[in-house]
Amino acid sequence: MRIAFASDHAAVALKALLVAHAVTLGHDVTDLGPDSDARVDYPDFGYKLADAIAGGDADVGVALCGSGIGISIAVNRNRACRCALVSEPLSATLARAHNDANVVAMGARLIGPDLAKACLEAFLATPFEGGRHQHRVDKLSDKD
């Protein structure tokens, strides 16, 4: 799977950890930055990630900031993205299974490294169920 990662300065360390973990799981990863903990604005990197998903450069994305809230809002500004903020593996699983989320967001100041890895694994391993959920997901992109 092709996975794009982006964060703000508060989540650079968690991003590096999750990028390395995704590589060990056999995925093709792209790190959209930043590459240091120098202060940056999360919308800039959320928009980069959303563009990668919308442009077909990545199958799914991982968005990280201090809380996960700001960058998830930025990603969701793009109609091609369904970004879900998760805090444990069950929410990551349901985001994929029921909402066909194509981006997962986490807060580096709120989640530990092992839990973040577990969320990533759950997100990547779960297929969209379709069926009764499909028409709801379709409505997410139909709204002007």
Both tokens of residue 25? 């799981």
- Cα 63 to Cα 69: distance, rounded to the nearest angstrom: 10
Q: What angle do CA 14, 3, 22 make, to 5 degrees?
A: 55
98 in active site: yes
Inter-CA distances, 25 with 28, 45, 56, 58, 121, Å? 9, 24, 21, 16, 9
Q: Which of 65, 81, 83, 119 is flagged as catalytic?
A: 65
Of the residues 21, 27, 98, 133, which is catalytic?
A: 98
Q: Where are the beta strands (DSSP E) in 1-144?
A: 2-7, 28-31, 60-65, 83-85, 103-107
Q: Is 119 a catalytic residue?
A: no
Selection from 88, 98, 104 nearest residue 130 by Cα: 98
Active site residues: 65, 98
